[in-house]
Every structure is written in C-alpha cells, then in structure tokens.
Amino acid sequence: MAAKYKSTFKLSVMTPESLLYQGQVESAFFTGDQGEYEILPYHYPVLGILSSGNIIINWREAVPIKFGLLRFFANDCIVLVEELERLRPDKKKKTDDMALEDPDEKRII
C-alpha cells in the first residue's frame, strides 16, 4: 500500500525574543535578497537571506519583517527575523506628542 502524501511542512518564524509563528503550512512566500520565492512542501533545501517585506503564510496571513535568515531542509522551515514594530495592546506608545485636548476624547491610532 502506498504511503499517504503529506501536503504541508513545518514553519517556525522567530525573533531572538519570541516565537512569532509555528505550525503546519501549505506554502510560504518570502522576499529574498535575490528576489521573491515561494516554498512548498518537499522543496529543494534552501538557505537564504530575507529582505524587508512580509512573510505570506498560506496566502492568508502576513508577518512583517525588517530582514532575516531562512533555512528549509527535510520539510522543516526555520526563519530567524528582525520584526517590524507592530502596535500591540500590551505596549503603550509615548503620549508626549499625542496629548489630547479633551481627556474624554478617544482616538484610534
């Protein structure tokens, strides 16, 4: 009996501080120093440098990055990145230059 074909690979996107994404994916699209490329399951082994842009995961999710390194081997993709700053609810932005005239006024930034 033939073995079942697995149409996904493991993708791990991480910074020195945290794990941004980890899971089984069908495709990942990267902007490299030599151009753009897409990694699919059972891709030939790759070692590459990523430039500023987005990592597109399954054509549904995006992870913005400044730069990074990519290693794909044996259906396992590890990406080490410097991520762009994203607004997060747990991080407070400086309010020096965002002073509100009316304390009851709410702004969406």
Which of 7, 25, 20, 26 has its CA nearest to residue 54?
Answer: 20
pTM here is 0.73
Domain boundaries, the chain: 9-83
Burial label, 78 (beta-carbon count in 10 A; 0-12, 13-18, 19+): middle
Question: What does the alpha-carbon distance between residue 27 and residue 87 come to, in Å, rounded to a whole number?
Answer: 26
Residues forming a β-bridge with 25: 9
What is 9-83's CATH superfamily? F0F1 ATP synthase delta/epsilon subunit, N-terminal (2.60.15.10)
pLDDT tens for the chain, 109 residues long, are: 556 777 999 999 999 999 999 999 999 999 999 999 999 999 999 999 999 999 999 999 999 999 999 999 999 999 999 987 754 444 444 444 444 444 444 444 4
Q: What's the Cα-to-Cα distance from 90 to each of 24, 84, 86, 87, rounded to whole Å? A: 28, 16, 11, 9
